[in-house]
Structure 1
Amino acid sequence: MTQIPVLPSPTWFVGCGNMGGAIIDGWRSAGLSLSNLVVIRPSGKAVDGVRVVTSFADAGPAPKLVVLAFKPQKLDEIAPQLKTWLTSKTVLISLLAGAEADSLKARFPKAGAIVRALPNLPVAVRRGVIALFSRDADDDVRQQVANIVAPLGFAPWMTDEAKCAAVGAVAGAGPAYVARFVDALIKAGEQRGLSTEIASTIALETVFGTAWMAAASNEGMDSIARRVASPNGTTEAGLAVLDKDQVLDQLVALAIDAAARRGTEMANEAKLAALAEPERLS
């Protein structure tokens, strides 16, 4: 029987937007106790089954684990308030896209270890992807982090930050692109006379069933496509449109490149802000 991991006491979630909420939903679904978790958000908006406070002063003892789950643009607003509560025993996990490890270390120098975790929304249903990277986490910290994210899905440790960002660009943004493809299937069904309800169910089950079949069989995508398509049949006629001049491959590559480029821009913005910090304090 697999032992359910326990969150360190106390664990702070600083902010709790879509991704933070998805992680908490995944932990709840996995049976993790949320009793050691405190969410700190100025709005005080409730989170089911979790204590919520509006300030660090109300959160209690210094945290053993902190998860940064706010918008990246808020980093320089929140960091000066948060860093005074961190100690050498604090592990800090950042969900912030674009905020690289060095930029985080510059803002939280007293943290014992800093881990970047780039998850995607399916962590809410425990089928997520979470890229992990750290420069200073020892083996014990890595194991601790791996234990608490494992219930959320596939969580590989990346050997360098560029690969971590690559996973973020593909997996992090991927659900949005898959959702657009499913929506396109729904619209195509509607154009063929199907009701929205029937078209939606067909599109979702087709995508879910194909993914499940591929995961269960370990069969390659091209092999599945060719197995569906009979020579000179209906599927092959449609594939001829998608495969012409690799138009679909190029379109997806352009979307991923745009996401990766924005990630690089955000990383550079965070670096510049960190360099400017001493000037603001002088």
Structure 2
Amino acid sequence: MKISFIGAGSIAEAMITGLIEKNICSRENISITNRHNKLKIQELEQKYGVYTTYDMNELISDADMIIFAVKPKDANEALEKISPYIREESFFVSVMAGISIEFISDKLKTNCAIARAMPNTSASVGKSATAITFNHSVSNRQKEMALSIFSAIGITEVVEEYQMDAITALSGSGPAYFYYVVEAMEKAAEQFGLEKDTSNKLIVQTLLGAAEMLSVSGKEAAVLRHNVTSPGGTTEAGITVLEQAEMQDAFIACIEAAAKQSKQLGVMYEAKIT
């Protein structure tokens, strides 16, 4: 299997790491290019042993899957650049936020197989939560290939395209929300005078344990929270402060804002360049 990446940002690198670590694709069968940052792709070549090139024909001609990982603002330029090299049998997978399959198809000027996926950076440790949707040209073999690749770097759910903006906000951006909470916990630990190494280990293990409980217990988050919130206890005191600060509403608003931004990115860049 040969996979080509157009774009060499954090998502592309996370996926490359996962693919190599999970032995899904050999290093020599992974090719990468980007817009013009030669230093970046040279670093990736040295770090992962993958192939890098600015020859679009070489990059695309024999690729089983072309993963498009550029920023939405760069979509038009990149799509127009590669359009002459895309064939009817090409399989194109976009991991861009907001940009629709219809727009991609129009810019590529072909009816090739196109998927739109939203992994997250946890792909680098095999823990991505990926949503994916396909156009009508994607064959069963190509679907199986895409699902096997994304499932190898985490879990994968097939969804309808209209759901992608919400999923981008929920799981695509999701890791950052948890990192933000960990940052706050680390600051609290620092104020208490706890050693950073000790507090970090405890915080991370607490996060891992809570995630595992959610995964294997079969209980809803509200039930698990209630189970550790004894009346008059320390947890209740902390939760009360969060409720007074309307933290749950803040997180809902956070996800709504991210979903809105995903939709706006598509509307803005598609309208700007059509």
Mapping of residues 1-282 of structure 1, within 5 Å:
7=1, 9=2, 11-32=3-24, 33-41=26-34, 42=36, 43=38, 44-47=41-44, 48-59=48-59, 61-136=61-136, 137-158=138-159, 160-244=160-244, 247-275=246-274
Give the number of aligned pairs: 265
Tell me the SS of whatever aligns to 1:143: helix
Residue 135 of structure 1: how far off its partner (Å): 2.3
**Deviation of residue 73 (structure 1)?**
1.2
SS of residue in 2 equivalent to 1:59: helix
Q: Distance in 1 between matches of 2:5 and 2:111?
A: 15
Q: Which amino acid aligns with 1:14?
A: I
Provide the aligned C-alpha RMSD in A.
1.7
Question: What percent of counterpart residues are identical?
Answer: 24
- Report Cα offsets for 1:17-57 as digits up to 9, x if no partner: 10000001111111122332211233142321211113314
TM-score normalised according to structure 2 size: 0.91
> How far off its partner does 1:141 sit?
2.2
Q: Is the 8 A contact 1:62 1:87 kept in 2?
A: no
Q: Which amino acid aligns with 1:269?
A: M
Q: Provide the rounded CA distance (Å) in 1 between the counterparts of 2:182 and 2:131.
A: 25
Displacement of 1:193 in angstroms is 1.8
Paired residues of 1:72 and 1:97 also in contact (CA < 8 A): yes
Please list every run of 5 or more consecutive structure 2 residues that lacks an aligned counterpart in the other structure: none
Instruction: Write the letter of the residue equivalent to 1:153.
Output: G
Is the partner of 2:118 in helix, strand or coil? strand
8 Å Cα contact 2:28/2:50 also seen in 1: yes
Question: What is the deviation of 1:60?
Answer: 7.0
CA distance in 2, matches of 1:170, 1:61: 35
Structure 1: tracts of 5 or more residues without a match: 1-6, 276-282
